[in-house]
Amino acid sequence: MSLREHERRILAEIERQLSEEAPALAGRLEAFGSDDPDAPIDPGLRSWRPWVACGLIAAFTAGLLVLLFVLTPSAPQPDVPRPAETSQGTEPAPEGGTADRVPAPAD
């Protein structure tokens, strides 16, 4: 935002008085200012390079997090007992045998 001519004259008068009364302070304050009061504080932030650098850092961080998530082993899950399988007409097999074996006929 630009200053009006009247405001610029007032500021110039204040600077002149400060230079006369406290030249050391005026020199220190002058080091902080710029010649153009309307100049942006940091013109580098408006270029594309800082945004590219931030994007690369964000992509690297996201990739690292995904990699850690994939490579980290999950916590062991508790064993859940399976329900017993029952069906009609079949009996559990005796130890050492199978249920498909047909008993031998008696003589």
Using CA of residue 10, residue 15, residue 20, residue 21, what is the dihedral sign? positive
What confidence score (pLDDT) does residue 89 get?
55
Confidence check: pLDDT of 24 > 60: yes
**Is 29 part of a structural domain of the chain?**
yes
Confidence of residue 23 (pLDDT cuts 50, 70, 90): confident
**Is 52 part of a structural domain of the chain?**
no
Contacts of 92 (CB under 8 A, 6+ apart): 99
**Is 32 part of a structural domain of the chain?**
yes
Domain assignment of residue 24, given as a range: 1-39
Q: What percent of the chain has pLDDT over 90?
A: 19
